[in-house]
Amino acid sequence: MQTRVSSMEDIKDSLQRAQPRVVPLVLLKVFVLFLPLGVGFSALSLYMTRNLKVQNVVFQARAGFQPCVEEQSSLDWWIRPPSNLMHNMSDEELLWRASFVPQVKKYPFKRVPKIAFMFLTRGPLPLSPLWEKYFKGHKGLYSIYIHALPSYQGNFTSDSVFYRRQIPSKVSEWGQMSMCDAERRLLANALLDLSNEWFVLLSESCIPLSNFSIAYQYLMRSRHSFIGAMDDPGPFGRGRYDLNMAPEVNITQWRKGSQWFAVSRKPAVSMVKDTTYYPKFEKFCKPNCYVDEHYFPTMLTIESPHLLANRTITWVDWSRGGAHPATFGRADITETFLKSILEGTTCPYNNQSISVCHLFGRKFAPSALEPLLQLAPKMLGFS
Ligand SMILES: *[C@@H]1O[C@H](CO)[C@@H](O)[C@H](O)[C@H]1NC(C)=O
Ligand SMILES: *[C@@H]1O[C@H](CO)[C@@H](O)[C@H](O)[C@H]1NC(C)=O
Ligand SMILES: *[C@@H]1O[C@H](CO)[C@@H](O)[C@H](O)[C@H]1NC(C)=O
Ligand SMILES: *[C@@H]1O[C@H](CO)[C@@H](O)[C@H](O)[C@H]1NC(C)=O
Ligand SMILES: *[C@@H]1O[C@H](CO)[C@@H](O)[C@H](O)[C@H]1NC(C)=O
Ligand SMILES: *[C@@H]1O[C@H](CO)[C@@H](O)[C@H](O)[C@H]1NC(C)=O
């Protein structure tokens, strides 16, 4: 350091010595003229180097660090799910891409069907430790997608099932078409993985009510998709129908149900590709219509009624009355409480009666996590 400083000073000294005391005016003018040019040029080259580097990183991330030359010539290229969920497709591009459907029914490769768990959330997933346990040991049978506020950056570590599972998102509001848009965005991203056969919509307050194996069998063997679709003659049902929706939507086809669905691939494709009913709902299901309670149940009832169970598999408690269902916290979570959710009811399933009615439940506060983790082995069948 010492020697470098002194040598620098030596150089400065020698420069000063070499220069005449009075700089000629012409030289000064030339200097003043070229200074901004020089500064500009170095700024430009700095920017270009940085930008090139960024582009290179983005490219490598997209390609998943794999060479992308020979790939298109093998089947693998066509059936491999996207390696990076953070694509830059617009909604229009994404929905179009997601609507691709193979016309040959038999897959010419070993396809292990998966369940896509689609979390529609504002930000963090406070119950994620419970879900981590739920998914443990079932790799290859599920995939996870998270739609959060665009500003939210999840901080899951690389050993988490939620790591890098966030999809490009937009702000969505309850009761607005933007909520259905978010659900379609989740479906479309999940459809890009050909292995996904079931598509379950969940929120940050949802919990599993069985273990993964039970849920997997329940869904894979079901002939019907689970979405509430009720014909309610009252003011909050048919009362929300607008005659302007005819002829695409008749009042006899108007349905209502909670937004938390679990649908198989065929209805999922109908939901992302729809351009017939969407404009009608967007235009005439507002305000106080709560489009997210009507759009998918009605649309699917018209398009494929035979594929619908017309009931949900997500348990919720409306018994307290009011505009919102009950939320359960630490003090509520007891064996008796969980038993009351899990037992004592029967539901139609593949045209038979079954005692397992719900695979998921809402709404659970973050404080419910600890007692749920404790009771999960005994009550929910996983640890
Ligand atoms: C996505 O990126 C490509 C290449 O960088 C660009 O041409 C395209 O316009 C982008 N699309 C969107 C929707 O931003
Ligand atoms: C993520 O951030 C939240 C708060 O922002 C924090 O409570 C949590 O511990 C963080 N998780 C990890 C895995 O870093
Ligand atoms: C709507 O349904 C009713 C009863 O099924 C029927 O009489 C009527 O013709 C339908 N309207 C349209 C436009 O399909
Ligand atoms: C659900 O309702 C539709 C009519 O809205 C009906 O066609 C279908 O059979 C029902 N599904 C079951 C499983 O009963
Ligand atoms: C099951 O379907 C048969 C006809 O396919 C019908 O006769 C029977 O009532 C159905 N059972 C139940 C429980 O819905
Ligand atoms: C899942 O739960 C069922 C019923 O509680 C139980 O019989 C089964 O052994 C559990 N499966 C696993 C893999 O733990």
- In this predicted structure, the answer to whether residue 7 has a pLDDT above a threshold of 60 is no
- Measured CA to CA, the distance from residue 50 to residue 54 in angstroms comes to 6
In terms of average pLDDT, the best of 9-23, 61-75, 211-225, 278-292 is 211-225
Q: What is the pLDDT of residue 323?
A: 81
pLDDT tens-digit readout, 268-312: 999 999 999 999 999 999 888 999 999 999 999 999 999 999 999
- Ligand 6 atom closest to residue 211's alpha carbon, by position in its atom list: 1
- From the CA of 380, which ligand is nearest? 6
Strand, coil or helix: 361 = strand
Measured CA to CA in angstroms, residue 173 lies from 292, 324, 326 at distances of 10, 15, 20
pLDDT tens-digit readout, 323-335: 889 999 999 999 9
Closest C-alpha to ligand 2, atom 6: 155
The average pLDDT across 355-373 equals 98
- Ligand 3 atom closest to residue 247's alpha carbon, by position in its atom list: 13
Q: What is the pLDDT of residue 22?
A: 47
In terms of average pLDDT, the best of 11-15, 75-79, 112-116 is 112-116
Min mean pLDDT across 36-40, 156-160, 242-246, 373-377 is at 36-40
From 148, 146, 175, select the one nearest 324 (Cα to Cα): 175
pLDDT tens-digit readout, 199-222: 999 999 999 999 999 999 999 999
pLDDT tens-digit readout, 137-187: 999 999 999 999 999 999 999 999 999 999 999 999 989 999 999 999 999
- In this predicted structure, the answer to whether residue 197 has a pLDDT above a threshold of 90 is yes
Element (H, E) at 51: helix 25-62
**Strands of the sheet with 314-315, listed across from one edge:** 207-208, 360-361, 314-315
- Measured CA to CA, the distance from residue 140 to residue 137 in angstroms comes to 9
Q: What is the pLDDT of residue 321?
A: 83
Cα(116) to ligand 1 centroid in Å equals 27
Q: What is the pLDDT of residue 73?
A: 84
Which of the listed residues 132, 155, 161 should we mutate to test ligand 2's pocket, taking the one with most ligand atoms within 8 A of CB?
Answer: 155
The band of 25, judged by pLDDT with boundaries at 50, 70 and 90, is low
- Strand pairing of 142-147 and 114-120? parallel
Closest C-alpha to ligand 3, atom 3: 252
pTM for this predicted structure: 0.82
- In this predicted structure, the answer to whether residue 28 has a pLDDT above a threshold of 80 is no
Cα(237) to ligand 3 centroid in Å equals 18
- Ligand 1 atom closest to residue 90's alpha carbon, by position in its atom list: 13
Residues with CB under 6 A from ligand 2: 155, 157
In percent, the amount of the chain with pLDDT more than 90 equals: 76
**Residues present in the chain in total:** 383
Strand, coil or helix: 358 = coil
Cα(155) to ligand 2 centroid in Å equals 6
The band of 71, judged by pLDDT with boundaries at 50, 70 and 90, is low
Output the average pLDDT for the chain: 87
Contacts of 181-186 spanning 24+ positions with Cβ under 8 A: 181/91, 182/120, 182/147, 183/118, 183/120, 183/259, 183/271, 183/292, 183/296, 184/91, 184/95, 184/271, 184/272, 185/91, 185/94, 185/147, 186/118, 186/120, 186/145, 186/147
Q: Which residues pair with 147 in a beta bridge?
A: 120
- Ligand 3 atom closest to residue 252's alpha carbon, by position in its atom list: 2
- Strand pairing of 262-264 and 142-147? unpaired
- In this predicted structure, the answer to whether residue 368 has a pLDDT above a threshold of 50 is yes
- Ligand 6 atom closest to residue 380's alpha carbon, by position in its atom list: 5
Cα(171) to ligand 1 centroid in Å equals 21
The band of 322, judged by pLDDT with boundaries at 50, 70 and 90, is confident
- In this predicted structure, the answer to whether residue 10 has a pLDDT above a threshold of 70 is no
Three-state helix/strand/coil letters over 309-357: CCCCCEECCCCCCCCCCCCECHHHCCHHHHHHHHCCCCEEECCEEECCC
Higher pLDDT, 14 or 218: 218
